[in-house]
Amino acid sequence: MSPQSAAFGERLGRFCRTNVEEIHPQFLDLLHTVWADGRPRPDASELARQTGELFQSVPDGRRGHLAVLLGLLTETAESDDHGLRGSVRAGLDGYLRQLATLREGDPSGAALVYLLAHFPEDAARILRVARSAALDQDDLSRLERCLAAFDPDAPAIGRTWPSPIRWALDDAERDQERRWFTALEPDAVSTFWEKDTRTLLAYMGGRACAAITTGRVLPEVPPEPGPEVHREPAGPASPPPGAHADLFRCPACGGRLARDAAMLACRSCAVDYPSRDGYLDLSGEPVGAGDQIAGNSPLYLSRYESLLRPAFLRINGTNWNGALSVADEDGYLAEHVRPADGPLLDLGAGTGRWTRVLADRLGGERVIAFDLAAAMVGRLREVVPESLVVRGAGGRLPFGDASLGAVNCWNTVQSIERPDATLHEVGRCLRPGGTFTMLTYRPSPDPLYRYFQRCHESCLGVTSFDQKDMEETLASAGMTVVDEYTPGTFLIVTAVRR
């Protein structure tokens, strides 16, 4: 027996004997002997086989942890490391026996699903057991998708996350999807399929980690999205309303903008900025730029608030227990948004859920809704028809120095390409005494959960922020943090412009 195998066996024994309060720390100690820095350690193959052989004999309440460990080793093994993958797969009979005897609500179910999702070559065998097991239906639908073979003629891309079962389409939506799909290049189709799979596995791993850590799995019924935000489409906008006319600056050179028929023109560099489809376009970019997420599927916007956003908060904010509710978010903004004289900018307003809340509180004429995605600004014109809607990029805000009374950036900054530059722009544009409110995310301190959080961030092109680094960035932008709220791995901040 190698020294590493002996050390692993000792830790495995300690993990099996430990009391409930110490299970997770002991598990992390066990995990460290076979996996570190996102990769399996040498001799992991031997230890994986040892774990698989002991899988059914370990006490109740421990098998879920070992299932996550084995799934993690399989997922992070080098593509040519068939020995490690084979060692994990050798225990398949034991995993399936455990799945077949699963009790309803058992947290190890999420972990078993995560492990089994890595063996599509055994799909028929796995699904025969899984479909009669006491599995959560969302978990079952994720397992079916991860084990499915890629069909380039009907891949069902862009509608698997966070659970394929939640994506029932009506006839109109199927027609819409068909038109979108036929316009894609074959390489784009396979890329979407692979990305969907990786994103789903990251979500499954995060859910399994939360289940084994807390000892329970909460149902994934999406929370209520809050007050209805649909409004009648607004008529064409004329840029800009008189109350805000002096605010705007050219994003290319910083010069003043002047009204010129149905557009704004820069007096310094002679660049024209049009008004189109009821919003003012100061992005200087083609329509479609900035639609990275919304452009992935034509069905995205209709499900954002009810399905996609709650799932994003669960994995990135570790909000599996619903500790942060929509009502909590509304309450935070009501308490902390304190505009100085001047308008409030809702930066990265998205589908407008919180733009509507702010407009109702402050008056719609005082709110400017701002986003780069053309799909989003089109939606904003329906949600806040009484507010000015602007399309633009956060890296160079098209507003004068000290021209804004407040800025809100809710669940957005993690998706911005250059967040530091955007935060400095916020500081430049805020008037002294004006507030900046922000919801974003911190890296999980748990190394296991952090792996899944990071995988999810990589798939979606988002990031999380160290709390101290964020405080320093805001300070360098001329803002002082006056409140921080950090449930789970959220980072919710209020800062004031000095």
Confidence of residue 225 (pLDDT cuts 50, 70, 90): low
**CB within 8 Å of 10: residues ≥ 6 apart:** none
Are 357 and 367 in contact by the 8 Å Cβ rule? The answer is: no
448-476 mean pLDDT: 97
Question: In angstroms, how far is the first alpha carbon of the chain from the final one?
Answer: 64
Helix, strand, coil in percent for the chain, rounding step 5 = 50, 15, 35
**Among 33-42, 97-106, 224-233, 336-345, which is the least confidently predicted range?**
224-233
* Backbone phi and psi for residue 316, each to the nearest 5 degrees, phi listed first: -80, -35
Q: Which burial class, exposed, middle or buried, applies to 36 when counting CB atoms under 10 A from its CB (0-12, 13-18, 19+)?
A: exposed
374-403 per-position pLDDT tens digit: 888 888 998 999 999 999 988 889 999 999
**CB within 8 Å of 348: residues ≥ 6 apart:** 370, 371, 372, 394, 409, 410, 411, 412, 413, 415, 416
Confidence of residue 1 (pLDDT cuts 50, 70, 90): low
Which SS3 state, helix, strand or coil, does residue 118 take? coil
Cα angle vertex 301, ends 197, 151, to 5°?
30
Are 394 and 423 in contact by the 8 Å Cβ rule? The answer is: no
Domains of the chain: 3-214 (no CATH), 242-497 (3.40.50.150)
422-429 mean pLDDT: 97
Tell me, what's the pLDDT at 289? 52
259-270 per-position pLDDT tens digit: 776 678 898 998
Are 434 and 265 in contact by the 8 Å Cβ rule? The answer is: no
**pTM here?**
0.92
Tell me, what's the pLDDT at 293? 44
The amino acid at residue 364 is G
Has residue 239 got a pLDDT over 50? no
DSSP 8-state class, residue 485: E
Has residue 156 got a pLDDT over 60? yes
10-40 per-position pLDDT tens digit: 899 899 998 888 999 999 999 999 999 899 9
Residues pairing with 248 in the sheet: 399
